[in-house]
A and B are shown apart, each in its own frame.
Chain A
Amino acid sequence: MKIGTLTPGETARRLKSRDGLAWRAGPFVVSLRADVPAFPEQFHLLYGEHRLAEEIGKTNDFRLELARPWGLRRWWRPKVFFEMDGPTRMAPFPLDHALPLFEWGFNYAIATRANQYLLLHAAVVAQGERALLLPGLPGSGKSTLCAALVLRGWRLLSDEFGLLRPGSGELAPLPGSIALKNASIAVIRAFDPAAVLGPEFPKTRKGTVAHLRPPPESVQDQERVARPVWVVSPRFEAGAAARLVPLPRDHGFLRLAHNAFNYELQGERGFRAVTRMTRECRFFDLTFGDPGEAVALLDEMAAS
């Protein structure tokens, strides 16, 4: 049973309940409690394709909460806090920014807890079981390119994490919404007018943010692992023609190790996992000014 089969009212009721609403997110089961206005409708829109956890029979990996404070901040310039098994050190957000807070909080939960994986900071898409990783610093165009690729048929594994199983070298999917920022919101709306986006949240710490709904097929395929084949570091440059430049493998090794949140924590198995990926992948730098051109170039790369 999917979240989308619940009515928005039932979604809100479950989010408010003592145990919260639990769903399957890639390899994890996540539960969320939230008693926040407008949030249930936004969550329902973006996560409607995800399966409810009740039929999975697995305990929760993450217990998250969007909590409203008591006292003055409940009523005057109201705030919302992100909690994970209790309070965290994340600063509160304005109450009407609960969705971006949930998205960042969930990413924080993965980045700090999911150390059974080598956590690569990259968007990941795939054609079948061949995965393309897009590592990139904020502002590199990583999410814009990831959105454009999935809107043209690539399978979304994640906009934020390459969850690499160190033993097998496989990538586990974690398809969620894709956070688009500032100008990239209009770029993606123009790129595909049928793209389903949630509301725009102005004046967040990263500017205006809107979330693209993950493709339903990618969510349905969220237990299908993929093997890393290409690692492409994108760089958006206004007006630039799309250009793909191959990189030597020693550069590739450093890119992967530097992009992993927990490379040092993984010790020898992290080294071996990065070594294996370095041997098995092809590495590129991609400069692009137009997502359509970049997608065409990456389609060509995948076909060659």
Chain B
Amino acid sequence: MNSTPFPTSWAIGKDASWIWEPFENSFFLFNPHSGETHVLNAEAVALLEALQEGAATLPELLARLDVAGDPTPYRAVLEELDRFGLIVPAWT
């Protein structure tokens, strides 16, 4: 059982004016606010695109992406995107 608290929903920050560049199997994202460049895989990009439609819980995001099955890998990706400062958790 995972005891780490997990936010109820996620959203993209208000000033998300990122610059994207796809190369081969990776996506390079530049965040002008932090000045950081992130290398993202396809799952991370899909989650960010799904969040463009609005804040959502993990099940809602998986539904938007039409993903069935184990949500664990997506949960880890969301936590990573939060660490990068690309998405914002909500704890309601």
Contacts and interface: CB of A to CB of B under 8 A. Distances in A.
Interface in A69-93: none
A264 B32 CA distance: 11
Please classify how large the interface on chain B is, using the bins under 10, 10 to 19, 20 to 34, 35 or more: 10 to 19
Contacts, number: 36
Interface stretch (B18-26, B59-67, B84-92): B18-26
Nearest to B21: A275
Interface stretch (A26-34, A153-161, A246-254): A246-254
Contacts of A55: none
A264 B35 contact: yes
A253 B19 contact: no
B8 interface: no
Nearest to B27: A250
B19 A271 contact: yes
Contact of A253 (B28, B35, B36): B28
Interface residues of A, number: 15
Q: Do most interface residues of chain B lie in helix, strand or loop, or is the interface mixed?
A: strand
A249 B39 contact: no
A207 interface: no
Given A264-B35, A267-B35, A271-B37, A253 B30 contact: no
A248 B26 CA distance: 10
A255 to B, nearest CB: 12
Given A267-B32, A271-B30, A254 B39 contact: yes
Contacts of A300: none
A249 B23 contact: yes
Nearest to B20: A275
B84 to A, nearest CB: 15
Given A268-B30, A275-B28, A250 B35 contact: no
